Amino acid sequence: MSSLKFGPGYSVATYQATAAWGQQIIRSPTSGSDPGQDFVVKDLGTVANLNQYGLVSDAFAARYGALEAYEFQCEPNGINSNYCTGTWPGEAAQPGFKVRLIPCGQSSGTIWAQYTGTPGGDTAVPGFQMYIAGATDNFSNPEVLNYPVGNPTDLPRPRLNVQPLSDYSNGNVFNNQQWATFTPPPPPPPPPPAPPVP
């Protein structure tokens, strides 16, 4: 997954390519061989459907019930870690909360409602969308997945967080809050074997 800011050359990744509870999320140069970039997008159905199981609040479902809900599951080298990107479990998402790996399917913290904007209001570039944090309790200006200030190669690495949905004067949402999912290119094939020595 990549944001409109910096484009597909930098993908969402776990810090230090590690799948562990609380591991924070960065962006790193897109690579088909980096296990830290191995995420699977899980479509969970509508927000309203999740509300039936208590995974989102009634207020969240009342506002965003028709939106599709997703989890981003960390699967380094194809192995399910049972961790998903999320905000702190059991707490309402607040501006600046770091996005990290937490257990999948146990709280609203791992739920992300996909939002493409409204006519005349917040608008995404075609092919991109915003992801509203399932744990937000701010429904007039919800917290969304956000890439913070800085470049992906800065040290220390900037960590993804959530911030209130923001747009430019033309109505387009900030580039660092628009996201697209894609499959990185596979790693190059190994070199052919050396010819036998006569």
Cβ pair 4, 175 in contact under 8 A: yes
pLDDT class of 61 with cuts at 50, 70, 90: very high
pTM of the model as a whole: 0.90
Region 2-180: CATH code: 2.80.10.50
When pLDDT is averaged across residues 72-80 and rounded to a whole number, the result is 96
Mean pLDDT of the chain: 93
Domain boundaries, the chain: 2-180
Cβ pair 145, 99 in contact under 8 A: yes
pLDDT class of 122 with cuts at 50, 70, 90: confident
State how far the Cα of 143 lies from the Cα of 23, in Å rounded to an integer: 20
Q: Residue 23: which residues within 8 A CB-CB, separation 6 or more?
A: 14, 15, 16, 83, 100, 101
SS3 string of the chain? Answer: CEECCCHHHEEEEEHHHCCCCCCEEEEEECCCCCHHHCEEEEEEEEHHHHHCCCCCCHHHHHHHCCCEEEEEEECHHHCCCCEEEECCCCCCECCCCECEEEECCCCHHHCEEEECECCCCCECCCCCEEEEECCECCCCCCEEEECCCCCCCCCCCCCCEEEECCECCCCEECHHHCEECCCCCCCCCCCCCCCCCC
**H or E stretch at 28:** strand 25-29
pLDDT in tens, 153-192: 999 999 999 999 999 998 899 999 999 987 655 566 777 7
When pLDDT is averaged across residues 135-146 and rounded to a whole number, the result is 96
> How much of the chain, in percent, has pLDDT values that exceed 90?
85
| Cα–Cα distances in angstroms (integers) from residue 103 to residues 74, 80, 88, 123, in the given order | 10, 11, 10, 31
